[in-house]
Each structure stands twice: as structure tokens, then as C-alpha cells.
């Protein structure tokens, strides 16, 4: 079975306010998907649905099971770090290791010890004696030592300094990930995960604004940088986004061939952050930014 | 205190880790303080008792003022206190268990009231929920821990200090006052009887009290802001409304009756440890005992349901 997450027409509303407006999503084994969206876009609700922590309407299966009904069984094969999840202050590092070893059949204590050895965290320390960054490191060490089929990371590096963030993502790829595993990750630091994703999903206002593999993204979107005199001509080709930059304008096109664009200026694959802005801007915001550009 | 002599299932060890302060250190401190007080008391009282006894020997008419105690003091002076009044030995043990039981009552209720609330408050609940441990297992573990397993250390500490008290009393009475020592058989049977009585008494107490324990657990899982307010405020409010509208006190009786039985069982098994079977028989034959079991099951199921299906995270 290769489909890790299968969602069709997921809906959810809090009172009158719809949070998810019919989400279709498929995640295959061996992929690393970035779920990117502004605050309040429905990101957290979607993740909670996938983890069985909140009920959602529609068809949803994780590793072939309904996450709400089989939550406990799923947690043997799915691991996650929620952005708000905090290790309890009274817990000692040694106890955390012993507990995980005791309750989790797929927890590899030696691996966790190996991850911890790279940090300065001592076994006898309590969580409340550790710094915020160390607590995150401990949590990541515990979770990465689980041989799970799906790892869900919600803002995993929040509060970590840039050195450790880089180290974490390197370690995630080298020490954790393999073709049997699947990762779903959300973060605000889009640039940091861009290079490791195989799939990317933009969510805004309860809908998917983009759902693509990274290869398809390179094919479908082109960023064109033109000098001011070519802007009028470039605009006629229907850019989905433009922004002023030093010495010219940068425009993003969807479904326009690079051959058509290249005579006008320099072309490249747009960064995820720019693409995100292009896809999630409201018409009003778009008008404002174009007004400035013009 | 990380290494327990017996390896408990991991879920129970987790509870011990979390409650080291209340369920492990508190009974040890009470034991240390009581033992210190007993030793200090023995030093001072050895003078006082000797003085009082010599005074009584000179003017025996003062004995009459002691009323019920007169016979005990006479026995003490005669030197046959322990053979004629073996209940003195039992009381030496039972007296020590009182402070332990009072502290235990407070701590076990505080624990149950907080245990399904604190992880939501400190937001560690999502960490626990990321592990393959069902809420049924979590809630049942906490109920059994708060009512039975956590109290075990208190009871053991109480027995240890009780034994110390007994030995000190015997040593003092025989070496200082020349009272005849009771036989080893009497001593052993008194101590074993008291130990069994205390264990059985607490077990019986916990079973009678189980609906209230489970109510605290439910309040702990239910509350968003203050489990204490919910656990005590809600029943009080309902009682007031009941009294006002129906002029009845059924809820109060429903709570009072099992509590009374629970305390009665605890006290009786200390006073008459040899009548254990009778205490158990009384409980098992009482419909209220079984009704309480049903209520306990209902409250516990409610707490499990809330943990599974109330989404507030």
C-alpha cells in the first residue's frame, strides 16, 4: 500500500465559519510534502484531522485507516510534533527515554541516545531545566528515533537558532528519511525546507491553492526578471504576480513557456516564498502591490 | 527514588515520576518527622512518666481521677500492661497511621483532581497523544494509581514508623518501668494483624470512596479553567437547587452515605483488624456498595470519553 494519506472533500466548520472547504489531498510513500499557508488558513485543522485529533467531514484515510477511529493504533506508525506540543517540565531525560522505550514498539533507544549525544543534554536533567531550544532538540531526538511510516512536523524548528535548524534538516534527510518513510511538514521558514521537499501544497482560506510536485512546479512556473523598459511587454503575457526589484521588475508566470519569455529577460524557477505570495495574495493585495510596481 | 524494587508497568512508573513529590517524598518526610518526634518525646517523657508514676505510688487516690485510664495505669505500675491489655500494642501502631492517612486523603484527591487537567494546562497532552497509548489506558491507570498504588508508599511508611513506635514503647516500658515484655507471638500477630487491617481498610475505603474518586477524575478531564471549582462547586450548586425546589437532600445523602461507609471501614479495620472478613462481608452485601461501583464506572467512562472526543487542542 503506497498511499499514506488519502483525503477527498474534507470539510470542517467552526460554527458558521468554514475552515476547510473541500480539500483533496494524496500523499504517497517516500515523499516529503510541505504544507504551507498563512495563519488561520486551515493548516492546523487539516493536520489535526490527519492525526485523529479533530473530527473532519469527508473521506480521510491515513495508512488505510480512519485516523479518528483508529488513533491509538495509528500512533504506532505515525509520529508527530505539534507546534504547541511541549514536553512536561517534570519529566527527566532518562525517564523520557525509558517511557518511549516502554510504550512505543518502534522506538529505538540507541538511536535517540545517538541524537542526544550531539546535543549538550544530560540524562538526569529535567525538561524544565533545559532551554527552549534544548527541549525542542530533545523532542526531535525522541521522535526521530521512532521508525514510523508517516512523520508529521508542525513548525518543528520554532525557537531554534539557525545553526541547529540547518543541522536538524540535514539530519532529518540523512539519518531519518528513507524511501519507506513519508514526511509532512509545515513551517513559516519556507526557504529552509524548499530544497528538501518533493511535493508542495499551499493552503489558503480553507482551500488548496497549489498542489504540485517540485518537478511539476519547475515546469509550470517561470520567473522572469526584466528591465523597466520591457515591463509593459512582459505584462501582456499574463503574469500571476509581479514585484519590483533592484533594477527592474520580477514577474511570475504560470503555464507560459520559457521560450516565449526568455527573449524579454532573465528566466529562472521562482522561489517557494515568491510563489506563495503569488498564489495566496487576494485581488486587493495584488492590486496594491501592482500599483506600487507601476 | 527512581529505582523501585519491583518493575511496575511503564504507565504506572510514569505516574510515580510525575508525582514524586506528593506520593514518594511526602510519606518519607512524614515518617522522618514522626520518628524524630517520637525519639524526642521518649527522652522528655521518660522523666515525666517516672515522676508521675512515683507520685501516683505515693498517693494512689489520684488514680480515681483518671477514670477509664486508671486500670491501664495500674497495669503499667503492676508490670502486666501488655499481657492484660494487648490493645495497647495495637493502638501504638494505629495512632501512627492517623497522620499518614490524613495526608494521604488530601494527596490522593488532589492528584485525581489534577491528573487529567495538568497535561492540558502545560500543553504536554499533545506529546502524550503522539504515542500509541489509548486514553482508556491513561485514565484507568490514573484512577488505580491515585486510589491504590500511590497510597501504597504511605501505608508502608506508616507501618515502618508504627513498628518503630511499638519497639520504642516496649523498650521504654520494659527497661525503664520494668513492665513484662509480651511474647514474640503476640507482637508478631499484632503487627501482622495491624498491617493487614491497614491495607484491607484502605482497599475497602478506596472501593467505597471510588465514586467520589472517579468524580474528581471526571472533573479533572472536564474542566477548562478550574477542576476544583467544578468538582466542588457543581455538586454544591445542585444540592442547593435540590433543597430549594424539592426540599430534599438526596444528592447530599448519595455522597455522604458512601463516604461515611468508607471512613467507617477504615476506622473499623484499625480498631478491629481481626474482623476483616466481617468488614468485607458488610460491604459486599450492601447494595450501595455495588451502586457505587456502577457510578464509578459511569464517571470513569465519562472521563475517557472526554479525553477521546472533546477537541479543544
Question: Which residues does chain B have with pLDDT short of 50?
Answer: 1-4
Report pLDDT digits (tens) over A14-30.
Answer: 888 888 999 999 999 99
Chain A residue set in contact with B, beta carbons under 8 Å: 48, 51, 53-55, 71-73, 75-76, 79-82, 84-92, 94-95, 98-100, 102-105, 139, 143
Average pLDDT estimate for A204-216: 89
Cβ within 8 Å, pair A85-B11: no
d(CA A218, CA A220): 6
Report the residue from A82, A90, A104 with minimal CB separation from B18: A90
Q: How far apart are CA A49 and CA A57, in angstroms?
A: 9
* Alpha carbon distance B121, A47 (integer Å): 21
Do the beta carbons of residue B169 and residue B39 sit within 8 Å? no
First to last CA, chain B: 34
State the cell numbers at B175.
527497661
Residue the block writes with cell 498542489? A211
Q: Which of A184-195 are b and which e, b meaning 16 or more Cβ less than 10 Å from the residue's Cβ?
A: bbbbeebeebbe
pLDDT in tens, B103-112: 999 999 999 9
CB A50 within 8 A of CB A67: yes
Per-residue pLDDT, A171: 85
Chain A residue with the nearest C-alpha to that of B131: A75
- B311 touches B129 (CB < 8 A): no
Domain boundaries, chain B: 4-309
How do beta strands A207-213 and A221-226 pair? unpaired
Q: Which long-range contacts (CB under 8 A, 24 or more apart) does B122-128 make?
A: B122/A86, B122/A88, B122/A89, B123/A84, B123/A85, B123/A86, B124/A85, B124/A86, B124/A87, B124/A88, B125/A85, B125/B313, B126/A53, B126/A82, B126/A84, B126/A85, B126/A86, B126/B313, B127/A85, B127/A86, B127/A87, B127/A88, B127/A139
Chain A positions in Cβ-Cβ contact with residue B115 (cut-off 8 Å):
none
Per the prediction, chain A carries an average pLDDT of 87
Q: What global pTM score does this model have? A: 0.87
Question: Would an 8 Å CB–CB cutoff place B122 in contact with chain A?
Answer: yes
Q: Which residues pair with A226 in a beta bridge?
A: A249
For helices B287-309 and B135-144, what crossing angle results, to 10°? 140
Q: Which residues contact B122 (CB under 8 A, 6 or more apart)?
A: A86, A88, A89
Q: Which residue shows C-alpha cell 463516604?
A: B259
Can you tell me whether residue A250 is helix, strand or coil?
strand
Write the burial class of residue A101 (CB in 10 Å: 0-12 exposed, 13-18 middle, 19+ buried): middle
Contacts of A139 in chain B (CB under 8 A): 127
Query: How close, in Å, is residue A86 to chain B by CA atoms?
Result: 5
Among B residues 91-120, those touching chain A with beta carbons less than 8 Å apart: 119
Average pLDDT over chain B, rounded to whole?
A: 86
As a dihedral over the C-alpha atoms of residue B168, residue B170, residue B174, residue B177, rounded to 10 degrees, the angle is 70
- CA atoms of B182 and B166, how far apart (whole Å): 11
pLDDT confidence tier of residue A167, bands split at 50, 70 and 90: confident
Please tell me chain B's helix, strand, coil percentages from 3-state DSSP, rounded to the nearest 5.
85, 0, 15
Query: How far apart, in whole angstroms, are the C-alpha atoms of residue A116 and residue A119?
Result: 5
* pLDDT above 80 for A152: yes
In eight-state DSSP terms, residue B149 is I
| Greatest pairwise CA separation for chain A in angstroms | 68
Q: Which of B17, B127, B129 sits opposite A86 (nearest CB)?
A: B127
CA distance B305 to chain A (A): 13
Residues of B in contact with A150 (CB under 8 A): none
CA distance A252 to B188: 90
* A126 to chain B, closest Cα gap in Å: 11
Neighbours of B79 (CB within 10 A): 14
Residue in chain B nearest A75 by alpha carbon: B132
Alpha helices, DSSP H only, in A118-224?
132-144, 162-171, 190-194, 214-220
C-alpha span between B295 and A235 (Å, rounded):
73
> At residue A84, does pLDDT exceed 80?
no
Question: How does DSSP assign B108-152, residue by residue?
Answer: HHHHHHHTTTHHHHTTTHHHHHTSS--HHHHHHHHHHIIIIIHHH
Q: Which of A135-144, A170-179, A276-285, B108-117 has the highest mean pLDDT?
A: B108-117
C-alpha span between A281 and A293 (Å, rounded): 15
Across the interface, whether the CB atoms of A75 and B130 are under 8 A apart is answered: yes
Secondary structure letter of residue A236 according to DSSP? T
For residues A74 and A58, give the distance between their C-alpha atoms in angstroms, rounded to a whole number: 19
B chain contacts of residue A85, beta-carbon cutoff 8 Å = 123-127, 130
Asked if A54 and B126 touch (Cβ cutoff 8 Å), the reply is no
The model's pLDDT over B168-185, given as tens digits with 9 standing for 90+, comes to: 888 887 777 777 777 788
What is chain A's length?
294
Asked if the Cβ–Cβ distance from A80 to B130 is below 8 Å, we say yes
> Which one, of A87, A181, A169, A99, lies nearest residue A135 by Cα?
A87
* Distance set, CA B152 to CA A66, B23, B158, B195, B199 (Å): 41, 9, 10, 12, 8
β-strand partners of A35: A201
> Using CA of residue B164, residue B170, residue B173, residue B174, what is the dihedral sign?
negative
What per-residue confidence (pLDDT) applies to B7? 64
Return the residue in B15, B132, B141, B312 with the most chain A beta carbons within 10 A, the one to mutate for interface testing: B132
What is the pLDDT, as a whole number, of residue A291?
53
pLDDT in tens, A97-114: 999 999 999 999 999 999
A9, B178, A70, B163: which is closest to B155 by C-alpha?
Answer: B163
pLDDT of residue A293: 46
Amino acid at each position: 500500500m503506497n498511499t499514506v494519506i488519502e483525503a477527498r472533500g474534507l470539510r470542517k466548520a467552526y460554527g458558521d465559519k468554514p475552515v476547510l472547504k473541500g480539500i483533496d489531498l494524496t500523499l504517497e510513500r517516500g515523499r516529503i510534502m510541505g504544507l504551507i499557508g498563512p495563519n488561520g488558513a486551515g493548516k492546523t485543522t487539516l493536520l489535526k484531522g490527519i492525526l485523529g485529533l479533530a473530527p473532519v467531514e469527508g473521506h480521510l484515510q491515513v495508512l488505510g485507516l480512519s485516523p479518528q477511529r483508529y488513533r491509538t493504533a495509528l500512533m504506532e506508525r505515525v509520529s508527530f510534533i505539534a507546534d504547541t506540543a511541549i514536553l512536561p517540565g517534570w519529566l527527566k531525560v532518562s525517564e523520557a527515554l525509558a517511557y518511549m522505550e516502554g510504550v512505543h514498539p518502534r522506538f529505538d533507544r540507541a538511536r535517540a541516545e545517538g541524537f542526544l549525544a550531539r546535543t549538550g543534554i544530560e540524562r538526569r536533567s529535567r525538561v524544565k531545566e533545559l532551554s527552549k531550544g534544548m527541549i525542542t532538540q530533545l523532542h526531535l531526538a525522541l521522535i526521530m528515533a521512532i521508525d514510523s511510516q508517516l512523520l508529521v512536523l508542525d513548525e518543528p524548528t520554532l525557537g531554534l537558532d539557525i545553526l541547529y535548524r540547518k543541522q536538524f534538516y540535514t539530519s532529518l534527510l540523512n539519518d531519518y528519511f528513507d524511501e519507506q518513510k513519508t514526511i509532512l511538514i509545515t513551517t513559516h521558514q519556507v526557504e529552509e525546507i524548499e530544497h528538501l521537499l518533493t511535493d508542495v501544497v499551499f493552503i489558503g482560506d480553507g482551500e488548496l491553492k497549489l498542489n504540485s510536485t517540485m518537478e511539476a512546479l519547475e515546469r509550470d512556473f517561470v520567473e522572469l526578471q526584466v528591465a523597466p523598459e520591457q515591463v509593459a511587454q512582459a505584462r501582456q503575457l499574463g503574469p500571476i504576480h509581479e514585484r519590483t526589484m533592484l533594477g527592474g521588475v520580477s514577474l511570475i508566470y504560470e503555464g507560459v513557456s520559457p521560450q516565449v519569455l526568455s527573449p524579454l529577460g532573465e528566466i529562472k524557477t521562482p522561489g517557494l516564498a515568491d510563489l506563495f505570495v503569488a498564489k495566496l495574495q487576494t485581488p486587493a493585495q495584488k492590486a496594491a502591490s501592482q500599483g506600487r510596481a507601476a | 527514588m527512581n529505582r523501585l524494587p519491583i518493575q511496575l508497568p511503564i504507565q504506572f512508573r510514569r505516574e510515580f515520576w510525575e508525582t514524586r513529590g506528593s506520593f514518594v517524598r511526602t510519606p518519607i518526610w512524614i515518617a522522618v518527622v514522626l520518628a524524630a518526634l517520637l525519639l524526642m518525646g521518649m527522652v522528655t517523657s521518660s522523666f515525666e512518666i517516672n515522676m508521675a508514676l512515683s507520685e501516683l505510688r505515693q498517693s494512689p487516690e489520684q488514680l480515681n481521677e483518671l477514670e477509664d485510664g486508671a486500670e491501664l495505669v495500674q497495669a503499667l505500675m503492676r508490670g502486666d500492661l501488655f499481657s492484660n491489655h494487648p490493645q495497647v500494642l495495637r493502638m501504638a501502631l494505629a495512632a501512627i497511621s492517623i497522620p499518614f492517612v490524613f495526608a494521604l486523603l488530601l494527596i490522593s484527591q488532589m492528584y485525581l483532581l489534577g491528573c487529567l487537567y495538568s497535561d492540558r494546562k502545560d500543553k504536554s497532552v499533545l506529546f502524550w497523544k503522539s504515542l500509541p497509548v489509548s486514553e482508556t489506558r491513561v485514565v484507568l491507570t490514573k484512577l488505580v494509581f491515585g486510589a491504590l498504588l500511590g497510597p501504597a508508599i504511605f501505608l508502608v511508611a506508616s507501618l515502618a514508623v508504627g513498628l518503630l513506635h511499638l519497639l520504642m514503647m516496649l523498650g521504654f516500658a520494659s527497661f525503664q518501668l520494668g513492665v513484662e515484655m509480651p511474647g514474640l507471638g503476640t507482637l508478631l500477630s499484632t503487627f501482622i494483624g495491624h498491617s493487614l487491617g491497614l491495607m484491607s481498610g484502605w482497599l475497602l475505603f478506596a472501593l467505597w470512596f471510588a465514586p467520589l474518586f472517579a468524580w474528581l477524575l471526571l472533573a479533572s478531564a472536564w474542566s477548562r479553567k478550574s477542576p476544583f471549582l467544578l468538582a466542588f462547586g457543581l455538586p454544591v450548586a445542585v444540592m442547593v437547587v435540590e433543597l430549594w425546589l424539592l426540599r430534599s437532600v438526596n444528592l447530599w445523602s448519595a455522597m455522604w452515605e458512601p463516604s461515611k461507609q468508607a471512613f467507617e471501614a477504615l476506622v473499623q479495620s484499625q480498631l478491629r483488624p481481626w474482623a476483616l472478613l466481617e468488614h468485607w462481608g458488610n460491604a459486599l452485601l450492601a447494595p450501595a456498595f455495588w451502586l457505587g461501583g456502577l457510578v464509578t464506572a459511569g464517571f470513569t467512562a465519562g472521563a475517557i470519553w472526554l479525553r477521546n472526543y472533546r477537541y479543544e487542542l
